[in-house]
Amino acid sequence: MNFNSFGFFIFLLITFTLYYLPFLKRFQLLTVVAASFYFYAYTDPWLLILLLFSIFWNASIVYLIHTPDFKSKKAVLALGVVLNLSVLFFFKYSGLFAKTFLGSSGSSDLHWIFLIPLPIGISFYTFHGISMVVDFYRIGPEIFKEKVPYPKLILQSSLYINFFPQLVAGPIVKAKEFFPQIKTKNFKDIPWIQAAKILILGYFLKTVIADNLNDLTFVIDFPYNAHHSTLTLVLLIFGYSAQIFADFAGYSLIAIGTAFLFGYKLPTNFNFPYISSNFSEFWRRWHISLSTWLRDYLYIPLGGNRKGNFRTYINLFLVMALGGLWHGAEWRYMVWGIGHGLLLLIERFLDQNFPFKLPENRFFSFIKTGFVFLSVSLLWLLFRLPDFETAIKYLKLLGTNLSLGTDWELCTFLIFFSIPVFFYHFYGWYKEKYPEETMEKVSNIGYAFLLFLIVLNKGPSAAFIYFQF
């Protein structure tokens, strides 16, 4: 069920009402769990089978880990991680590896692999499952002070893995941060103003910016791009950068605002990433919940930066490559991750061996930020275009289409719908640079204006980009 559909608003209203009815208050947990199952199974009930299995085995492993006299905790922890990764690999990557090693059609015995549908949200709820078993192994007593009955653990695990605001596309929430929040919620404690502002900004980014840009950036693909000038092609790259930010940041904000309505706090997922002046900073600001998950559950267990520079480079490269592949079952996503990994490695190497620092002024800060943004935007081509060949053709067209006439109407609309994203980031930069001079709260009139634009200027409804991952 899409957040930007009429059906979702009806679903949300009914769920919210039942959740806070006084005579149903003791069934709050059951209410939101049942609503989350309905939300996930709305278009395809068969998806529930795998999700229920994921909840069952992760809860069972946590139950064993949290049993004081159980001796084989490390073994069941390993089993839990392997189960989660095996399911993710089978449903998401078996077709990719079969195609790579067996050819496009595979052998006659394995052709069925190409027909396996990708369960929506599997990347996110698998990461939740891993976080759950690892966190309870590491700090179980800090999360649950006493033994939790198995039925209650199943219900709480269902909420953590299946909580509908973040189920399909995040933010990824660590178990140690979510489970302590599971308790009875009161209507009077809802942060209405904060939730409303977050939701308005989220829907503005998604429906007004991302959806309108989506209606324009389709020409970035072949054969449409072959007929546009270099200027148009450059603006399309930047327009898609604005679109993917608005789409994913919009989804995250809607998820965070919706969770507030039910008394739960989800982590911030974007912190003005396009003002980053280096690539490390970009990954501290972009998809923060994924970056921190990869750091805590992959980079640090691999040794992080504690075992010398060479191991640090290997760990960083491996984490970014796997993080890229996590986004999609195509090699171009891994190459996208490798591209970011190489940029991080080069940046780290130069900082350690050639500690030359540019003067700290606005001009050089702008140059560094512009270079990071340009690099990130070019790498987004691997996200938007279907294969390497098309991406390479696009880069060649930047040089060969100099003499073509420019579609000024398309360029004008690309700039018009991209500008709010860059103004938003400028506000973030100014707020961080001069906090004492910046109003912490945008006026209510500003949010009312955004709401006005949502009603009058939303684009054709489109699925969230990260649904495919």
Select from 127, 161, 187 the last residue of a domain.
187
Tell me if 372 is assigned to some domain: yes
CA distances from 347 to 111, 373, 380 (A): 43, 15, 20
Same domain, 76 and 221: no
Q: What is the pLDDT of residue 441?
A: 55
Same domain assignment for residues 14 and 113:
yes
Q: What angle do CA 295, 296, 297 make, to 5 degrees?
A: 100
Residue 102 has pLDDT above 70, yes or no: no
The answer to whether position 21 is within a domain reads yes
Say whether both 177 and 230 belong to one domain.
no
CA angle 4, 271, 176 (to 5 degrees): 85
Residue 91 lies in a domain: yes
Q: Are residues 139 and 206 in the same domain?
A: no
Average pLDDT over residues 79-93: 91
In a domain, 216, yes or no: yes
Q: Are 15 and 32 contacting, i.e. CB atoms less than 8 angstroms apart?
A: yes
Within this chain, do residues 41 and 175 fall inside the same structural domain, yes or no?
Answer: yes
In a domain, 1, yes or no: no
**Helices 230-261 and 408-433, interaxial angle, to 10°?**
50
Split at pLDDT 50, 70, 90, the class of 437 is: low
Does 137 share its domain with 97?
A: yes
pLDDT in tens, 245-298: 999 999 999 999 999 999 999 999 999 999 999 999 999 999 999 999 999 999
Which of 45-54, 191-200, 204-213, 453-462 is the least confident region? 453-462
Is the pLDDT at 29 greater than 70, yes or no?
yes
State mean pLDDT over 170-185.
93
Point out the domain boundary residue: 144, 169, 187: 187
Q: Specify whether 76 is located in the same domain as 102.
A: yes
Last residue of a domain, one of 187, 207, 232: 187
The arithmetic mean of pLDDT across residues 411-428, rounded, is 93
DSSP 403-451: TSPP-HHHHHHHHHHHHHHHHHHHHHHHHHH-GGGS-SS--HHHHHHHH
Mean pLDDT of 18-40: 95
Quick one: 376 and 436 in the same domain? yes
Q: What is the pLDDT of residue 114?
A: 56
Average the pLDDT over 451-463 and give the result.
Answer: 84
Structural domains of the chain, count? 2
What are phi and psi for residue 57, nearest 5 degrees? -75, -35
CB-CB contact of 196 with 257 (8 Å) = yes
Q: Which two tokens stand for residue 116?
A: 């396996």
The residue segments making up the domain with residue 146 are 6-187
Task: Evaluate whether residue 166 is within a structural domain.
Answer: yes
- In this structure, are 168 and 211 located in the same domain? no
Q: What is the pLDDT of residue 165?
A: 94
64 and 45 in a single domain? The answer is yes
441's tokens: 């709260």
Mean pLDDT comparison of 97-106, 255-264, 419-428, highest-scoring range: 255-264
Residues classed as catalytic: 327
Q: How confident is the model at residue 71 (pLDDT cuts 50, 70, 90)?
A: confident
Q: Evaluate if pTM is beyond 0.75.
A: yes
Question: pLDDT for 141-159, tens place per residue?
Answer: 888 877 788 999 999 999 9
pLDDT of residue 23: 92
- Give 104's pLDDT tier (boundaries 50, 70, 90): low
Task: Write down the pLDDT at residue 170.
Answer: 78
Asked whether residue 442 is assigned to any structural domain, the reply reads yes
- Taking only the tens place, the pLDDT of each residue in 344-399 is 999 998 888 876 666 677 777 888 999 999 999 999 999 899 888 899 999 999 99
Shared domain for 254 and 170, answered yes or no, is no
Residues 230-245 pLDDT 10s: 999 999 999 999 999 9
- Give the tokens for residue 93: 């990557």
Q: Does residue 342 surpass a pLDDT of 60?
A: yes
What's the rounded mean pLDDT across residues 207-211?
Answer: 94
Q: Residue 83: pLDDT above 90?
A: yes
Kindly state whether residues 451 and 321 are assigned to the same domain. Answer: yes
Q: Is the pLDDT of residue 321 over 90?
A: yes
Question: Stretch 109-114: mean pLDDT, rounded?
Answer: 56
**Residue 436 domain flag:** yes
Of 41-45, 318-322, 350-354, 360-364, the one with minimum mean pLDDT is 360-364
